[in-house]
Each structure stands twice: as structure tokens, then as C-alpha cells.
């Protein structure tokens, strides 16, 4: 028996059942997409932003180190030089703490790319080499070997700091791009969910119009 020849009660039951089915489908789609959007937001807030802050801390530490190195190269006062070198070591510790935190985040973030891991490994290697140079600078300062200290700063520490800044700049760019991509994915999930619900709702309206009684 066709729908048009059905009894009124049967038509109402079938129509109501179809409405319930569509509502259930739309609800399921909405919930599934909300879960996906929430995952993207959590990834941005709890992972990407934390990684970016760690990189920014590392870059800030290198910036402070560069200032201290410049000051040491220009100073003649022994006490002032020692204070700058102490600050240099503290910034190195700050850098390594942020670097360790970033490494932990990369370990739990499934979306971390091999390029990001490679850059972090490069930054870690450069950091280890620079830490050894800082320790050498402290030794030279304590020994009163100012000429050797300035040569170390000019020939080794300075160029190494430039390389470190370049490495972290590249890593920061990658982290920014990752954050942007996560935002784009969240937006796409929302737009897909909206389209699906509009299509299903529109189809229901068209069906009801064609089958009106």
C-alpha cells in the first residue's frame, strides 16, 4: 500500500517515526562533531599553546644570554663580569628546563611531526655545546684570563648563539603553523557538521512537502 493510500493514523505514525529518526541522526552527528571540535580545542589549548610557550621561553633565555655575553665583552670590572656570568648560567638552566618540557610535550603529542622533532634535537645538541662554552667562560673569568674570555665570546659563543636563535626561530614558525592548522581543522569539523544537519533537515522538509496530506 502506497503512502498516499495509507490511513491517517498510519501516516501520522510513519511521519512521526521518520521525524524521530532524523532527530536522532542529527543529534548523533552533532555530538560526534562536538567531540571532534573539543579534541581540536584541547589540542590547541593544552598542547600547542604549551609547546609555543616553551619555545618562547627558550628564545627569551637565549636573548638574555646574548645581552649578558655582550656586557661581559664590554666590561672590565671583575665583580660585574661575574654577575653577568652568573646570570648567564641561570638563563641556561631556564632554557634547559623549557627544552625538557617541550620534549615531554612532543612525546605525548601524536601530531608532532618528524621535522619538529628533528629541530628540537638540533636545538638540544646546540644547547649542550653552548652550555660547555658557558662553563669554560666562567672558568676563564675566575682565572682572570680576560683576553681568552673575550676571544671565546667572539669566536665561539657569539656564532653559536646566532645559530641557536635561527634554529628556534624555525621551530617557533612550525609551532605557529601547527596551531593554525589545528584551528582550521576545528573550523572544518564545524562546517561539515552544519552542512550535514542542514542537508538532513532540508531533505525532511522536502519529503514532508511532497508527502503532505
- In 3D, which of 211, 208, 204 has the Cα closest to residue 21? 204
Structural domain of 88 = 3-208
C-beta of residue 189 within 8 angstroms of C-beta of residue 44: no
| Structural domain includes residue 85 | yes
Instruction: Count up the domains in the chain and report the number.
Output: 1
Q: Over the stretch 160-213, which tens digit does the pLDDT of each residue have?
A: 999 999 999 999 999 888 888 877 877 887 788 777 777 777 776 776 666 655
CATH code for position 171: 1.20.120.1730
Residues of the chain with pLDDT under 70: 1-9, 11-12, 15-16, 204, 207-213
| Structural domain includes residue 213 | no
Q: What is the pLDDT of residue 146?
A: 84
| Structural domain includes residue 156 | yes
C-beta of residue 175 within 8 angstroms of C-beta of residue 195: no
Amino acid at each position: 500500500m502506497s503512502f498516499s493510500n495509507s490511513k491517517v493514523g498510519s501516516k501520522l505514525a510513519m511521519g512521526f517515526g521518520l521525524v524521530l529518526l532524523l532527530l536522532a541522526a542529527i543529534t548523533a552527528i552533532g555530538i560526534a562533531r562536538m567531540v571532534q571540535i573539543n579534541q581540536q580545542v584541547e589540542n590547541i589549548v593544552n598542547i600547542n599553546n604549551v609547546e609555543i610557550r616553551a619555545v618562547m621561553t627558550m628564545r627569551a633565555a637565549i636573548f638574555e644570554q646574548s645581552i649578558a655575553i655582550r656586557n661581559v665583552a664590554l666590561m672590565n670590572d671583575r665583580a660585574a663580569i661575574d654577575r653577568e656570568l652568573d646570570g648567564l648560567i641561570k638563563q641556561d638552566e631556564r632554557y634547559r628546563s623549557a627544552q625538557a618540557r617541550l620534549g615531554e610535550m612532543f612525546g605525548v603529542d601524536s601530531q608532532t611531526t618528524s621535522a619538529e622533532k628533528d629541530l628540537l634535537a638540533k636545538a638540544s645538541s646546540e644547547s649542550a655545546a653552548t652550555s660547555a662554552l658557558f662553563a669554560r667562560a666562567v672558568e676563564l673569568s675566575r682565572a682572570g684570563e680576560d683576553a681568552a674570555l673575550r676571544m671565546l665570546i667572539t669566536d665561539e659563543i657569539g656564532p653559536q648563539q646566532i645559530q641557536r636563535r635561527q634554529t628556534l626561530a624555525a621551530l617557533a614558525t612550525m609551532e605557529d603553523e601547527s596551531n593554525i592548522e589545528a584551528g582550521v581543522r576545528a573550523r572544518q569539523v564545524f562546517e561539515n557538521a552544519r552542512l550535514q544537519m542542514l542537508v538532513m533537515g532540508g531533505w525532511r522538509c522536502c519529503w514532508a512537502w511532497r508527502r503532505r496530506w
